[in-house]
Structure 1
Amino acid sequence: MSGLDSLPPLARVIAAHGLSARKSLGQNFLLDLNLTSKIARQAGDLSGCDVLEIGPGPGGLTRGLLLEGARRVLAIEKDTRCLPALNEIAEVADGRLEVINGDALDIDPLAHLTPPIRVVANLPYNVGTELLIRWLTPRDWPPFWQSLTLMFQREVAERIVAVPGSKAYGRLALLAGWRATPRIVMHLPPGAFTPPPKVSSAVVHLTALAEPRYPADPKILEQVVARAFNQRRKMLRAALKGAAPDIEDRLLAAGIQPTDRAETVDLERFCALARRMPGGSEA
């Protein structure tokens, strides 16, 4: 039996350390170690990778990552109450686990990890989308990560993988699809968590592309997509009216009808439009 196998059940760990989940931190703990190991396996073979985990809580997924053979795990936890439980795991992890107390939005993981790097996390609900957007929009591409295996509220997960014409399609799907291949790999009911959230959850796996799917300037594409979806019920000639004086001509040149709405336009045509906007390569 390894040291990890000898650790007590998570329910006992939570009771011993008084770890009631805090809504203010977006916490919902996953206690079933069979499920946490299954999530870890969705990230693929971890034996040759360092893994970044955000918001490990009492360490259920952390254990799964280590048991699935991760070369090394960096766990960033904001809640100081969880540190004793995480340190207990570190003590039996043969030097493969480093725990940092801090805000993931403020910490540079590259100072602590060696590529190749994969991110695997049951993200706190209150920062999950912000972290995903940061990981999808770095200054340089390819990014520091090979893949992201992340748990979100089901509604957010569906927005990440949405297709044109669907109600969920928008900025998140376009950002994810431009530089990565996203897919939902697991669904989890509220009852899998303590305390049970009001909504179901899903795990999304995103594999980084070597280069963006279609050429476009990242800032211009982001601006065009943001403008288009901020007024998603408007025709694009109206939603993008202030972006360029001859916006209808630019839309037509990109293969988009001025009367189209943002939710009907696919990634390829949004990229074509970005290239034809002021500052774009074909403007």
Structure 2
Amino acid sequence: MAAIDGLPPLRQVIATHGLSAKKSLGQNFLLDLNLTAKIARQAGALSDCDVLEVGPGPGGLTRGLLAEGARRVLAVEKDARCLPALAEIGAAYPGQLEVINADALELDPLAHLNPPIRVVANLPYNVGTELLVRWLTPPQWPPYWQSLTLMFQKEVAERIVAQPGSKAYGRLAILAQWRAEAKIAMTLPPEAFTPPPKIHSAVVHLTARAEPLFPADAGTLSRVVAAAFNQRRKMLRASLKGIAPGIEDHLRAAGLEPTMRAEQVPIEGFCALARQVSNTG
């Protein structure tokens, strides 16, 4: 698989450029190009899409995306040590790879991308959840991206796809599933990475919904869900008492029992409650 693009194997690239993974940057490099190509395929057809990749490192996934036919890849890399290795990939794919040395949390990528846009990334562990939340909470919906294909720690991935009644079900599940269809596409063992993390990883594929699953004001829904899960062991009448006067009446009007706990409430229930609260605000 190292011959997909005529470039050297990733271990050689890392050795040549002295790219030991930095814990401070949440780096764990995927070296198996079979795997990076497989992850790229999870994103669907890429030939008509621009792809945003965050944290490409030495470029394993970047090479997978380009080999799988991505129209163009914008790679945002904070670690300047990786730029020479990424430049070699750019030379092998003239005009198809743009690399920006920047912090993804501080960059607006839209100036560099043309729709349709897909996001595909082996996200640095220390910023993965924050980036996901930002992609799911733009000022307008639908967002600029069609889909997100993202690598997370397996525990985070399970929180994204969790269903009501499970311990993993919480704010992240509601935020993701309210506005996107989410599924775990594949899991990877620690030994797939260098250095091996202490946990398994998983790739989550999220497809943007044209409209949220149920009507609700995004800000109100976020406030209600945050309050409910901040005290998830308490009954809703207690955890939500500061949200609005007469919260028990609002709960019943939304079809929820005041004695329920947050993890028992489906997304539809939270949306109904958010509408009740909005109507009295």
Superposition deviation, residue 281 in structure 1:
4.3
**Matched positions, count:** 279
Q: TM-score, normalised by structure 2?
A: 0.98
Q: CA RMSD in A?
A: 1.0
Superposition deviation, residue 244 in structure 1:
1.2
Matches within 5 A, 1:1-283: 5-277=5-277, 280-281=278-279
**Which sections of structure 1, spanning at least 5 residues, go unmatched?**
none
CA contact (8 A) 1:78 1:102 kept: yes
1:197-244 Cα shifts (integer Å, max 9, x gaps)? 000000000000001010000000000000000000000000001111
SS of residue paired to 1:149 = strand
Q: Structure 1 CA distance, aligned partners of 2:210 and 2:153? A: 28
CA contact (8 A) 1:4 1:92 kept: no
SS of residue paired to 2:166 = coil
Structure 1: which 4+ aligned runs deviate by more than 3 Å? none
SS of residue paired to 2:207 = strand
> 1:4–1:34: structure 2 CA closer, same or farther, 3 Å change rule?
closer
The one-letter code sitting in structure 2 at the alignment partner of 1:248 is: E
Q: Equivalent pairs: percent with the same residue?
A: 76
1:119-146 Cα shifts (integer Å, max 9, x gaps)? 0000000000000000001100000000
The one-letter code sitting in structure 1 at the alignment partner of 2:115 is: P
Q: Structure 1 CA distance, aligned partners of 2:108 and 2:31? A: 28
SS of residue paired to 1:12 = helix
Q: Structure 2 CA distance, aligned partners of 1:249 and 1:43? A: 44
Superposition deviation, residue 86 in structure 1:
0.3
Superposition deviation, residue 4 in structure 1:
6.0
The one-letter code sitting in structure 1 at the alignment partner of 2:233 is: R
SS of residue paired to 2:228 = helix
Superposition deviation, residue 6 in structure 1:
1.1
Q: Structure 1 CA distance, aligned partners of 2:40 and 2:156? A: 20
